[in-house]
Structure formats: structure tokens, C-alpha cells
Structure 1
Amino acid sequence: MSRAETAEASAGDGAAGGRAAAARAPGPLWTLGLLRNELTTTLRRWRTIALLGVLAAVPVLIGVAIRIETGDGSSAGGGGEGPAFIAQITNNGLFLVFTALAATLPFFLPMAVGVVAGDSVAGEANAGTLRYLLVAPAGRTRLLVTKYATTLAFCLVATLVVAASALIVGALLFPLGELTTISGTRISFGEGLGRALLIALAVAASLVGFAALGLFVSTLTNSGIAAMATTVGLLITVQILDQIPQLHAVQPYFFSHYWLSFADLMRDPVYWDDLVANLELQALYAAVFGTAAWARFTTKDITA
């Protein structure tokens, strides 16, 4: 074979390889399929179903307890104890939504998110499926973004499960109607439902930074259990530190510091300062730990 023929053959092989690589490159539909598969797999796991079941049970327990306590006509929370809005539940069952979210946000909701986020990458590595996911034309960045998007979707689903359960229980056990805001003004039941939805969205958004932290932890180990335990341990540690008065100077930088700011959505007019500060803090955590997770995952040896 002459040099010209050899060059032509090499060029032909290169073009064929380029076409094959282009054919293997994932398109938008492939990415959506990967995201749909991750969502389906996550939500169908028995562990996830159990977590959602526990979250749905919290409003039931609160509602039944208050119903039993107020069976003689007394008002709940008369001593000023318990989560925000609890004293209003007997007057309007919609307040059970706000109370349930206030009760689950400090621990139950983030714990569930920590389990899902911590297991997202480490669980695949431990099961030996991570390398096979990357053999497919996914790419590490695309796969990591998909894992994070799945965790964020779980944040929303978990929050809505709590809100929906509380709304159903509140409607069954207590009267519904106009609401009295924290500011003392009256709003219609329809506007109250709208604010309940906004509060649920605000609670879900409050978990964005913690989800990124859990994802980063998940890239540091090949043990799903270790990643989940570490993430939940960090949650408990930060919650404790946020209650120590001597640390007031650094507490505004803790991811959980503004979590209960959603109560400001029940003021008239709404106080936006803490709500905006919470969203900015969550975005900062998502950017910092999302970048750290990407830097770690793109250099991680998955063959070990």
C-alpha cells in the first residue's frame, strides 16, 4: 500500500471514529431519560417509601394528639409550647400544614434528604454500579448534575408529602375557613391555601444547600451507610451549634439558621428579609459544595 493510500485509510478510520463518537454523544432526550430513570429508581426504593411514610405520619400524630387534647373544648398550645401556629389549629385545620412543616423541618425532613443525598454517589460505588453508569455515554458531570437534580426533586416531594398529609388530616379533624395571620389580619381560605403552597416551596428551597453538602459527602467515600451517617451527623452538629449563644457571630452562616423564616409568609405584609437571606445562603452552599462535589467526582478513581 502506498503512502497516499495509507493516509487515506487513516483519515477514513479517523472520520469513522469521529462519527461513532458523535453517535455515542448523549443528547437532551438521553439526559432526560437518565433523569427520569434516576427519579424512578429513587422514589421506588423501599427506603425512600419508608422515609416518605414517616414524614406523612408526623402530621397525623400531631393532629390526633391535638384533637385528643382539645376534646374538652380547651385550646391547643395554651401554655405557649410547641411549634409555631399550633395554638391556631383547633380554629382552622389549615394551620396544621404550617405546624407540621415547622415540626419536621429541623430534623425529619433534612434527615430524609441527607439519606438520599448521602447515598446518591456512594451507594452506586458501594453496589458496583457507578462504573457501569459511566461506561454509558453519561459523563461524570452530567451524572453528578442528574444525581443532584434527583435529590432536589426528592426535597420537593418530601415537603409536599408533609403538606398534603397535614392538609388532609386538618380538614378531617378541624374546621376550615378564613385565616388570621400572625399580624392579626384576616385572609380568605383560598389565599391561605396559596400561602401554604408558598411555604411548602420555601421549605423545599431551604434544603437546597444541605442537599449539596450531602452530595459532596457522598463523593468522598464508597460506603453509602458512611455517607448517610456523616451527612445526618453534620445536620445534628450544626443544629446544636446554632443554639449556642456564644456562637451568634457565625450562626447566620449555618445552613439551618434561617430555616424557620418561612413563618414570615404568614405575616401581612410579608417580611422578606430573612426569606431572602435564607435563599441567598442556600444558593451559596449549593455553589460551594456543588463545585467541591464536582471537583472530587471528576477526579475520583471509580475502578478502586
Structure 2
Amino acid sequence: MNSTTLATPSTATSDARPVHGRRRLSPGWFLISPSVALLLIWMLVPLAMTVYFSVIRYNLLYPGERGFVGLENFHYFLTDAGFIPGMTNTLILVGGVLAISVVLGVLISALLEAAEFPGRGLVRVMLISPFFIMPTVSALIWKNLIFHPVSGVLAALWKFFGAQPVDWLAQHPMASIVIIVSWQWLPFAILILMTAMQSLDQEQKEAARLDGAGPLAIFWHLTLPHLARPIAVVVMIETIFLLSVFAEIFTTTSGGPGYASTNLAYLIYTQALLQFDVGMASAGGLIAVVIANIAAILLVRMLGKNLTEKH
């Protein structure tokens, strides 16, 4: 009995070691290694080329005049006349779109969840549909059908009330870009928040009603705390994508008038493909990557902290 009992753990240990060893020598990593290698090449080769171009003098108008310049391209990009307006407009764009999409997304999701009316499913589909329209197409729709100072919908509305039509893209370029991009990303926020709203415990809401809580109190004390995680997810994902908005600006305002609607992505485009300065554009691209990674790290930490506290 004792010898058998003493032998059992050693036998189990001896049996476990080969299994652990076989797991380490599993051929699974051979199967995924081509995909991992391709992904690394896909990422590292363009990054290495960008780093190389950022430290040399490389202008497409003078292809023969190349030379190592160190951090000179970074200095020129950071001191460029469009850098401060580009950074400011990028922050305005990200902050404005996030504020509109989160606030309206919460309100619309709450109304759709609370209200019962015929065709509610169709309304949900119509609210989400703008998210599937290509940015260039939506920008052209807003530019030619809504914001146009002569034949646009807003111009007709202004004329109906006897007011002078407004050339939105010329007089309020950054506000126009914020509206266009918000129209595209609001459906994403509605989709995430509306899905989260359906998981709200209805028994808590009924108990709150029985205790005399009104709709506003239920919304403030039950619905909003429940939406904390989805809102954090919306903010994180939208911020990462909004830092690289380009098609809407290129299609509507071309960054103008002046630098009034130029963000970092469009500024890098002008350096690379309008001024043909690949070196400075590469330096700007690396600066934009650093800014995007800092924003992503902060948002991921904020989201992780939010999930930990709620858990």
C-alpha cells in the first residue's frame, strides 16, 4: 500500500514531463510560422523604408541629390507652417466626432430601446447604414447635395426662410469635416451601444420604477453606468481611425482654405505627393505613428482600468 502510494506521484510526474515536452515540441508553430513571417515582413519592410527615407534628403524633383541628413527632416516637419494647424485640426476632428458620436449614440440607443413603434427594426437598419458607405462617396454626397451653396439642401432651406445661403466648406471648413465624419461614425457608436443596451437587466429597471424612479433617474443611475464599457470601446476604436482621416478632407476642402482643414494625414500627403519631399513626408509619417501609438496605449489602459473597476 505504502509503496504503491509513494510510487504514484513519481509515476504521474514522469508521465507529465514527456507530455509537457511534447507540447513544447508541437509542430503547430511550424504551421503558423509562414503567416507570422509574412505579417512581420508586411510590417517591418515599409517601416524600415520609412525610417531610411526619413534620415536622407530625398525629393522626387531632384532624385540624384540624396544624402544623409540625420534628424533634419524631423526638424523641418515640426517647424513647418502647417504642423501646428494640422495638430490642432486633428485634435478638433477627433474630439468633435467623439463628442457627437458618443452623446447622440447614447441618446438614440436609449430612445430606440425605450420606444415601441411600428417599423423600429427598419429604423435601426437605416441608422446603421451610413457606416457602410465609402468615405469618398459620403463626402461627395455632403459636398454636392447638402453643403453646396447654390443647389444644396441647406441652401434651399436658408432661401426658404429668407436667409443668405452659407458656403459651409469655405466659411466653416473644419466644422463641415466634423459633421461629415460624425455622420459616418455615429452608426458605429449606435450599433455598439444599442447592442449593449439590450443586455441591461430589466428587473433592475422595474425595481427602480417601483421605488418611484423616473425615466431620467433610471437613465442616469442605471443605463449610463451599464454603458461605461461600450463607450470606452467606442472611444478607443474611433480615436485610432479618426487620427488617419484623409478621404473626406481630400474630396471636399483639399485642406483649405489655407490650413483651415488640414490634419496631420493630409499634411503628410501634401509633403509627399504635392511637394514631392519624400524625406520630410517620411519623417511626418513616423511622428504620426508615434502619436497614434501614444493615443492607443492611453486608450487601452483607460479601457483596461474601466473593465477592471467594473469587474
TM-score (norm 1): 0.30
Of structures 1 and 2, the one with the larger relative CO (CA 8 A, separation 6+) is 2
Q: Which has more radius of gyration? A: 2
TM-score by length of 2: 0.30
